[in-house]
């Protein structure tokens, strides 16, 4: 059985066989090429090499191009971008292409694409109860593929209009001061490495992947800082056979600004000093260098912690929003907060992470009384 979206099979003679689109006849019939090997990985590499050769080979047969389905250009675009983006980004691109774009509009020939068809595609995505943000992300990838496709038909493809759905801003759950105090007391009571990591996230605004990848060598108590250099993710495994569908990857953060240095408060430094491991290579969440705790497991533990504290709707990312909100409440300078959170601009911090409490809004309104309002 082949992997979804790939024509790679294990034959009865125990060899692996890969099939790829080699070209098209003047009538539009697909011509396939074949690769063989002793393992899935070997065939995968051979088929990708063959596809890459086809991409750079001059092709003057415009008739053949006209008969190619849009899915061909989608997968060519994927192949060309594989070495240009991070693995996590490529996995996202691949998932969007194979799960949404190719099944719905991949079978259309390029000259059949229209603004109406793109609009129907967007409507179907929304009907599947995907969030407006997710649909916007899918349409953004589609737009990039269309730009790539247009290069093969200079002046011949009709202008396609993409209307992005409005992103309804959802109010993020933020712990009240009372809830935060209760949650901190729970974490401190019978604290272990995992609870310490959750508390550290609340006190510094770390992302869940950053906490999972954090080692004690990244926490420099003598300098009073945390250096964020890595993040952990579980990604779809595009290289292995079906027995290993996902894998844990520790890589550099999602952006250049996500790699950052966070100063520690005196309180945070004292708690870190109580749990510091003598082995600087040890992961913070486990205290061992050879054993880590992945984000999915930490999410499960977080769910258990919040249930124990009777906190509803509090996911791990709510800790980051809570940290940002507390910073704003004490008058934190936004540019500094933006850099501590690892954002590319203060605007992202203001738009997504600043949640004024009713108490803070009332305090600000009361300031108007001083000038006669």
Tens of pLDDT, residue by residue over 293-334, are 999 999 999 999 999 999 999 999 999 999 998 988 888 888
Mean per-residue pLDDT of the chain: 86
What percent of the chain is predicted at pLDDT more than 90?
50
**Per DSSP, which regions of the chain are E strands?**
8-10, 16-24, 30-37, 219-220, 225-228, 231-236, 246-251, 260-263
- Using an 8 Å Cβ cutoff, are 180 and 141 in contact? no
Residue-range domain boundaries for the chain: 1-68, 70-168, 177-366
Could you tell me how far CA 292 lies from the centroid of its own chain?
Answer: 20
Q: Which fold has domain 70-168?
A: DNA polymerase; domain 1 (1.10.150)
Residue closest to 180 by CA, chosen among 306, 272, 351, 307: 306
For residue 232, list its beta bridge partners: 250
Cβ partners under 8 Å of residue 19, min gap 6: 7, 8, 32, 33, 34, 35, 47
**Average confidence (pLDDT) over 3-25:** 76
Strand partners, 339: none
Which value, to the nearest 10 degrees, does the dihedral of the CA atoms of residues 143, 149, 153, 159 take? -10
Q: Are 32 and 23 in contact (CB under 8 A)?
A: no
pLDDT tier, 92 (very low <50, low <70, confident <90, very high otherwise): very high
Q: Is pLDDT of 2 > 60? A: no
> According to CATH, what is the number of the domain 177-366?
1.10.443.10
pLDDT of the residue at 77: 94
Strand partners, 34: 19
**Quick one: average pLDDT of 260-279?**
93
Q: What pLDDT sits at residue 208?
A: 96
What pLDDT, on a 0 to 100 scale, did the predictor assign at position 270?
94
Give the count of beta carbons closer than 10 Å to the beta carbon of residue 10. Answer: 16
Are 71 and 20 contacting, i.e. CB atoms less than 8 angstroms apart? no
Query: Residue 41's CB: how many other CB atoms inside 10 A?
Result: 13
Q: Give the model confidence (pLDDT) of 157-207 as tens digits.
A: 878 899 898 877 777 889 999 999 999 999 999 999 999 999 999 999 999
* Placement of tokens 């209760």 in the chain: 182
Distance from CA of residue 184 to its chain's centroid?
Answer: 29
Looking at residue 317, its pLDDT comes to 93
Distances (CA, A) of 145 to 150, 162, 193, 226: 9, 13, 45, 40
pLDDT confidence tier of residue 67, bands split at 50, 70 and 90: low
In angstroms, the CA 133 to CA 166 distance is 8
Backbone angles phi, psi at 190, to 5 degrees: 55, 45
With pLDDT > 70 as the criterion, what percentage of the chain qualifies? 87
The mean per-residue pLDDT over the stretch 87-116 comes to 91
**C-alpha span between 297 and 311 (Å, rounded):** 19
Q: What is the pLDDT of residue 360?
A: 65
Give the span between the Cα atoms of 313 and 308, in whole angstroms: 13
Average pLDDT over residues 77-97: 90
Distance CA 219, CA 214 (A): 8
Of 63-67, 159-163, 195-199, 341-345, minimum mean pLDDT range: 63-67
Q: Answer whether residue 337 shows pLDDT above 80.
A: yes
Tally Cβ neighbours within 10 Å of residue 203: 19
Task: Using alpha carbons, list the distances in angstroms from residue 117 to 178, 200, 362.
Answer: 51, 49, 49
Same fold? 70-168, 177-366: no
Q: Please answer whether residues 246 and 158 qualify as being in contact, where contact means their C-beta atoms are separated by less than 8 angstroms.
A: no
**Overall average pLDDT of the 12-41 stretch:** 79
- C-alpha distances (whole Å) from 129 to each of 50, 64, 95, 98, 105 are 38, 38, 17, 18, 19
Beta bridge partners of 36: 17
């Amino acid at each position: 059985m082949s992997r979804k979206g790939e024509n790679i099979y294990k034959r009865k003679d125990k060899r692996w066989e890969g099939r790829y689109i080699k070209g098209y006849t003047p009538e539009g019939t697909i011509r396939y090429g074949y690769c063989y090997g002793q393992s899935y990985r070997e065939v995968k590499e051979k088929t990708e090499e063959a596809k890459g050769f086809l991409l750079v080979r001059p092709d003057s047969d415009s008739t053949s191009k006209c008969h190619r389905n849009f899915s061909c250009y989608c997968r060519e675009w994927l192949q060309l971008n594989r070495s240009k983006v991070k693995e996590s980004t490529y996995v996202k691109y691949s998932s969007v292409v194979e799960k949404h774009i190719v099944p719905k509009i991949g079978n259309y020939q390029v000259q059949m694409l229209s603004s109406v068809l793109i609009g129907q595609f967007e409507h179907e995505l929304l009907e599947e109860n995907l969030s407006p943000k997710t649909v916007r992300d899918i349409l953004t990838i589609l737009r990039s593929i269309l730009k790539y496709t247009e290069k093969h038909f200079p002046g011949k493809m009709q202008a396609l209009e993409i209307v992005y759905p409005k992103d309804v801003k959802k109010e993020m759950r933020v712990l009240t001061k009372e809830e935060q105090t209760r949650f901190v007391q729970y974490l401190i009571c019978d604290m272990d490495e995992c609870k310490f990591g959750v508390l550290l996230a609340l006190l510094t605004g770390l992302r869940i992947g950053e906490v999972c990848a954090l080692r004690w060598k990244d926490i420099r108590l003598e300098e009073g800082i945390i250096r964020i250099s890595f993040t952990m993710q579980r990604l779809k495994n595009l290289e292995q056979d079906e027995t290993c569908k996902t894998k844990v990857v520790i890589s550099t953060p999602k952006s250049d600004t996500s790699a950052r240095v966070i100063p520690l408060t005196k309180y945070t430094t004292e708690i870190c000093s109580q749990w510091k491991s003598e082995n600087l290579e040890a992961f913070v969440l486990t205290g061992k260098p050879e054993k880590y705790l992945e984000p999915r497991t930490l999410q499960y533990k977080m769910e258990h912690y919040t249930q124990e504290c009777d906190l509803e709707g509090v996911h791990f990312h709510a800790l980051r929003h809570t940290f940002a909100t507390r910073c704003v409440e004490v008058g934190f300078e936004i540019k500094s907060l933006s850099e501590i959170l690892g954002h590319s601009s203060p605007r992202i911090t203001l738009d997504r992470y600043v949640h004024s409490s009713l108490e803070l809004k009332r305090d600000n309104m009361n300031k108007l009384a001083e000038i006669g309002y």
